[in-house]
Amino acid sequence: MAKSRAPAKQTAAAAATAAAAAPQAPSGTSPAIQSADAGRVKKAQGSRKGKKAWRKNVDIQDVEDVLDELRNEERLGGKVHEKPSESLFFTDVAGDQNVRKELKLKPLRIDQILKPDSSIPGVLSRKSLKSSTKKVDADGVEIKKTRQVSKTVLNKIQDLAGRKKKAGLGPGSFSAMKQAEHAKREAAIKRAKGGFDLWGEDDTGDKDAPADEGYLETVRPKKAKKPKTEYAIPAAIPAVRVSHPGASYNPTESDHKAAIKVAASAEFHKMAEDEKIKQKLSYPKELDLLDDETFFEDTDEEEEEDADEGDDAAAASATEGDGSDQDTHKQQSAADARRKTKAQRNREAKQLQRQREVEERKAEKKLLNQIHAIGSIKKSLNKEVKAKEQRLEQRRAAAAEQAATKPAKLSRHAFKPAPMEVQLVEELADSLRTLKPEGNLFEDRFKSLQERNLIEARVPVTKHRKAKYKETESHDYKRFK
């Protein structure tokens, strides 16, 4: 199959044939001219009236174009249509590789989609594994790197194999020094984990003495003293709390019952607490028993009563306010009518005087009595003070007991004891082999630390996603051609 290699030439040839055909068909029905016409914008047709108009409005542009082209061809080396075909075309025997490729491997649609938009390559984030330069020996053969491990590792391996020593790099070499340093470090760590007699050696702070020699006594740095702070570690809670005798793997019946009783009472207590809370939060059923009338009537009456009272009070105050002037007049007049005589006044004064004297005497007597009874008063006072002290003592003792037996509240969360380990009768093992352990010692140790106030009670924090995931449908596949 022959095909033109240069499409430009092909069009030129087509134009030439069109030009050759032009004289025969001047009306311009040849396909070449048609195609040329198709590219142009059609002009509006001019007038066709009279010869003058005919000459003026005849469009000979395409003929002139062709002639121009022919002239151009002549200038460039002969008219094309006169040339033999051999000089214009050749048979392509090799064929186009791209064509074959195009025919065979039509790119997949997905590849088209994934093809990068930009023709500029992206920036590489990591160093390219292959270096851009090559090491070449004298013969021009590339020297390939055979080392796969780091230099330090290689050194270690060589040390192990004893190669460095042979090469004179053993003791004193960098890697040897490093190894020695490492070994020293390890030895120091091991020593500090039970490698010497900690309580046997007689060190009274002499370790730092040589460093301190340069200082005067007054400014010599002193070792920090441990403060004498006391912690409220519950004294009654031992570090290792031994299980109840009923928690033996093979307990006596009475012990076992006692253990179950203890465990059950704790559980009942918990249930009662829950119930209490539930009851507080629930709707009281007693409210249903009340019928609506009694429920509402009372309040109405009360309100009415309140209103009545309010009215009365208002009315009373009003009347008072109105008649205040009149009243004062009346009282004044009444007082005038009952005006005391001087004798009367004197009598009253005497009466008053006598009364006062009697009272004074009484008070004096009382005081005397009290002075006599000072012992008993003191006794009663002492009793009161004693009782107060006793109450205080009791309160203190109770607080001390609380501190000795109950963990303190050291954080927002209260300590929650682990449930007591106990097995029911049917769970008890008949021999050591069939024993099923109960409880978890890991948890037990952790709870013990909390119980003894060594660490604060906490609740494990799990990270939650704040925003919920939102589900959407992707429409990306629609956007590709």
Residue numbers 232-291 binding another protein by CB under 8 A: 232-233, 238-240, 242-245, 247-253, 255
Closer residue to another protein (CB): 30 or 155? 155
For residue 289, how many C-alpha atoms fall within 13 Å in the half-sphere facing its CB?
3
Scanning 44-52, 98-106, 190-198, 270-278 for contacts with another protein by CB under 8 A, the matching segment is 190-198
Report the alpha-carbon distance of residue 476 to residue 79 in Å, rounded: 57
Q: Is 387 in the site for another protein (CB under 8 A)?
A: no
Q: Is 15 in the site for another protein (CB under 8 A)?
A: no
What residue type is 451 in one-letter code?
E
Closer residue to another protein (CB): 168 or 221? 221
Closer residue to another protein (CB): 182 or 396? 182
Q: For residue 43, give Cα distances in angstroms to 31, 59, 61, 65.
A: 20, 9, 12, 17
Q: Is 231 in the site for another protein (CB under 8 A)?
A: yes
Report the alpha-carbon distance of residue 168 to residue 164 in Å, rounded: 6
The first and second tokens of residue 124, run together, are 């590489």
Closer residue to another protein (CB): 272 or 449? 449
Q: Is 65 in the site for another protein (CB under 8 A)?
A: no
Subset of 128-167 contacting another protein (CB under 8 A):
150-152
Residue 202 Cβ vs another protein, minimum distance, rounded to whole Å: 9
Scanning 115-123, 165-173, 375-383, 426-434 for contacts with another protein by CB under 8 A, the matching segment is 426-434
Report the alpha-carbon distance of residue 15 to residue 21 in Å, rounded: 10
Site map 435..464 versus another protein, x via CB under 8 A: xxxxxxxxxxxx-xx---xxxx-x-x----
Residue 404 Cβ vs another protein, minimum distance, rounded to whole Å: 14
Scanning 192-200, 279-287, 375-383, 468-476 for contacts with another protein by CB under 8 A, the matching segment is 192-200
Give which of 458, 460, 415, 449 is closest to 231, Cα–Cα.
Answer: 449
Give which of 171, 148, 147 is closest to 159, Cα–Cα.
Answer: 171
Out of 75, 115, 130, 226, name the contact with another protein by CB under 8 A: 226
Residue 465 Cβ vs another protein, minimum distance, rounded to whole Å: 20
Closer residue to another protein (CB): 286 or 426? 426
- Residue 447 belongs to what H/E stretch? helix 441-451
Q: Is 208 in the site for another protein (CB under 8 A)?
A: no
Out of 121, 210, 227, 284, name the contact with another protein by CB under 8 A: 227
Contacts of 63 (CB under 8 A, 6+ apart): 22, 26
Closer residue to another protein (CB): 92 or 384? 384
Give which of 60, 59, 63 is closest to 18, Cα–Cα.
Answer: 63
Subset of 86-125 contacting another protein (CB under 8 A):
none
Q: Is 62 in the site for another protein (CB under 8 A)?
A: no
Scanning 27-35, 137-145, 368-376, 403-411 for contacts with another protein by CB under 8 A, the matching segment is 403-411
Q: For residue 378, give Cα distances in angstroms to 125, 282, 374, 381, 382.
A: 96, 56, 6, 5, 6
Three-state DSSP at 364 gives helix
Out of 182, 220, 365, 378, name the contact with another protein by CB under 8 A: 182
Closer residue to another protein (CB): 248 or 353? 248
Closer residue to another protein (CB): 147 or 342? 147
The residue whose two tokens read 């105050």 is 317
Q: Is 175 in the site for another protein (CB under 8 A)?
A: no
Q: Which residues on adjacent β-strands are paired with residue 162?
A: none
CA–CA–CA angle 105, 108, 113 (5° rounding): 140
Query: Which ranges constitute the DSSP H helices of 282-341?
Result: 286-289, 292-337
The first and second tokens of residue 354, run together, are 């006598």
Out of 189, 290, 316, 352, name the contact with another protein by CB under 8 A: 189
Number of Cβ atoms within 10 Å of the Cβ of 315: 10
Scanning 106-114, 231-239, 371-379, 470-478 for contacts with another protein by CB under 8 A, the matching segment is 231-239
Scanning 11-19, 287-295, 378-386, 432-440 for contacts with another protein by CB under 8 A, the matching segment is 432-440
What are 437-446's contacts with CB under 8 Å, separation 24+? Answer: 438/247, 443/418, 444/418
CB 422 within 8 A of CB 200: no
What number of chain residues touch another protein (CB under 8 A)? 74
Contacts of 5 (CB under 8 A, 6+ apart): 90, 92
